[in-house]
Chains A and B, each alone.
Chain A
Amino acid sequence: MTDYSPSLLNVSNEHRQSAIEIARGRLIFAVLLFCAAFLIMVARTMELGLSAPAPRMIARKQVVVPAIEMSRADILDRNGEILATNLETSSLYVDASAIKDPAEAARRLVTVLPTLSQADVEEKLASNRKFIWLKRKLTPRQKWAVNALGEPAFHFQREEERIYPQGRLAAHAIGYVDVDGKGLGGVEHFFNARLNDDDLKTSALKLSLDIRVQYALADELEAAMRAYKALGAAGLVMDVNSGEVLGLVSLPDYDPNNVRGIGDTEKFNRVTQGVYELGSTFKTFTFAAALDDGLVSLEDGYDASKPLRVARFTIRDDHPKNRFLTLPEIFTYSSNIGTAQMALDLGADRQQEFLSELGLLQASNIELTEVGAPLYPSTWRKSSIMTISYGHGIAVSPLQLATGISAMVNGGRLLPATLAADAGGRHDGKQVISSATSRKIRQLLRLAVSKGTGGRANAIGYRVGGKTGTAEKPIAGGYDRKALISSFVGVYPMDDPKYVVFALLDEPKGTKETHGFAAGGWVAAPVVRNVILRTAPLLGVSPKEENKELYQRVSLMIEK
């Protein structure tokens, strides 16, 4: 046994050694494998660290800038000027339970927010409640000042505020919102759903208004209103070839940034909501209807030698000539007698149909909810025919009138008035009169300014045409001879009409400069002239020498 044992030991030793060798070999193999794997990883790490990152990988991992989220879309004018925008503000509230010394904290807070009452704030701070509003909508500077107090119990809540940087300018067109940002007036109300639409919040609403034109109009109307002590004023500038409203002014106005305590008089939109008997400006429509039907030609005339009697009315002329007048004379001297006779020839049905075609018997469908419906007699009697022919007995809004006048001068296409900016291009409205009649109306309007009652609207170089309108205000049982609605509707340049400018003054009083007159030709026409002089260069209408031949033949028919 002992003989074998060493050999056995040997064998087992040898066997064990070879087994260990094998194990070691395997271990080394594993270690090498690991080493190789690590080396690969090291190489890859270094490659990643040293090489420039592949451009497509950057593209895949886009940097996300959090978008500005406002709860209401902006409103811009046609040139991109901001009319209404939402800004972030902070409202201050307090966790009163965390206040140690209410009296001291209140004293320090009032030093930075002087509009707060110290006693009131102290009471709130001492109330021990977890959440009390102290002041809503702080300016960034006030917020900074409150933060600088270092009082940990004061907190801010993010809120939004609707800002109208242009103030009272264009207030009636833009409108206003309530505290919760809900539109209550103007386009803010009309487009409320669109402005609050989640998908359209980032794209601003563009209006047709031009803030520069708007200001020129507002400034001139304000000056006239002050000079003639008028109760109110209305004005409108409109593109005759697209129906876009560039300026819309109603006075007195209000500041949409602060509508608290504003009365209905200020909120009333005289351009779209107010309906007025606009007087002689309506003669344009009577003339257009008669000329378009071929009922009369410019060479015809009517006898205006004595006042007309119909029912209980007597129709007189404001500028009586007491003779037979040609058509151009009736228009330029604004003869009621001549126009009334022409309307009688036209007939009730045709007159009504024509006015309806021009949209003067239906409320305008501009993008505002403050739209007034026109007033006119339900039964169209003979007296109605005659008075309506020169703008009495029918009340329409200035916007409707301007829309109608645009159709008269732009070649006869009726384009509905709009406050939304459009992309441009040709507008094909409904043809209401022939382009030949439109040309005649242009001649008549130009002569009414160069020779007739609208002389004070003649902005030299801009070939203004237009018609005055003076109407007495209706009172119970008749008309108030002293209270006038004086207006003027002007169009320029008359050889290729581009813009219609309308101005209206409510109960103007004559002054020394107007020799006591308060008629449209005296008080409203200069407003239109000044607006044209101020805005024509902005709107790209260049002044030039007038082509006198355009009006030569018609003007020969006018005797002094």
Chain B
Amino acid sequence: MRKYVTALAAITAVASGVAVLQLKAAVQSELDDVKALAQQIHEDQEAIRVIEAEWAYLTTPRILQERSIQFLALMPPRAKQIVSDPSLVPFRPKGLEVEPDPGVLLPVSHEKKENLKVKKDKDTKKKGHNL
């Protein structure tokens, strides 16, 4: 009996030691991952700075104008082409009319489907009652 107790104690001690070591190793590797990630974030931030500077260089108005002349047939707008009130635009589609309901903010198509569902639910409930 005593032998067993001693052996059990020894095994438990070894097992828990191994478990603690494993846990420590796992934590260490997680920590290394976190550090690597932080470093990666730092490097990415520096890369973003470079890319932002490059973007500013590539989108400087002079270059944009050159590209626009090269690839697009766009002209500066004339005063006549600028309308301050959009309702003056001819043949402008008005969009679908919705009944004013302050509680519902969904588009018309959504609203209809929901109504159908509610109807079905009611139908099944009625059937249930009949059964």
Contact = CB atoms under 8 A, between A and B. Distances in A.
Given A41-B16, A66-B39, A211-B61, A537 B56 contact: no
A461 B61 contact: no
Given A31-B6, A35-B12, A167-B60, A49 B50 contact: no
Given A45-B23, A169-B62, A542-B82, A533 B76 contact: yes
Nearest to A167: B60
B53 A82 contact: yes
A42 B18 CA distance: 11
Nearest to A459: B79
Given A68-B42, A460-B79, A87 B53 contact: yes
Contacts of B53: 82, 85, 87, 163, 165
Interface in B1-31: 2, 5-6, 8-9, 12-13, 15-16, 19-20, 23
Say which size band chain A's interface belongs to.
35 or more
Contacts of B23: 45, 48-49
A55 B106 CA distance: 38
Given A85-B53, A165-B56, A38 B16 contact: yes
B39 A212 contact: no
Interface string A147-169: 00000000000000001011101
Contacts of A533: 76, 78-79
B80 A31 contact: no
B37 interface: yes
Nearest to B61: A215
A88 interface: yes
A296 B53 CA distance: 57
Interface string A32-67: 001100110110011011000000000000011111
Contacts of B82: 461, 537, 542-543
Given A34-B9, A66-B42, A82-B52, A28 B79 contact: no
B79 A63 contact: no
A140 interface: yes
Contacts, number: 104
A375 B52 CA distance: 44
A229 interface: no
Given A63-B38, A169-B62, A35 B57 contact: no
Contacts of A85: 49, 52-53, 56
B34 interface: yes
A219 interface: yes
B108 interface: no
Given A45-B20, A544-B84, A165 B76 contact: no
B58 to A, nearest CB: 8
Contacts of B34: 63
A81 B56 contact: yes
A116 B60 CA distance: 31
Contact of A42 (B12, B42, B52, B79): B12
Nearest to B79: A461
Contacts of B76: 533-534
Given A49-B19, A140-B50, A544-B84, A66 B56 contact: no
Among all A-B residue pairs, the 10 with the closest Cβ atoms? A461-B79, A215-B61, A543-B79, A165-B56, A165-B57, A82-B56, A65-B38, A42-B16, A542-B84, A66-B42
6 contacts: A66-B42, A81-B56, A163-B53, A212-B61, A215-B60, A459-B79
Interface of B: 2, 5-6, 8-9, 12-13, 15-16, 19-20, 23, 34, 37-39, 41-42, 45-46, 49-50, 52-54, 56-57, 60-62, 65, 76-80, 82, 84
Given A38-B9, A46-B19, A163-B53, 10 more contacts: A28-B5, A38-B12, A39-B12, A65-B42, A87-B49, A165-B56, A167-B57, A167-B62, A214-B61, A460-B79
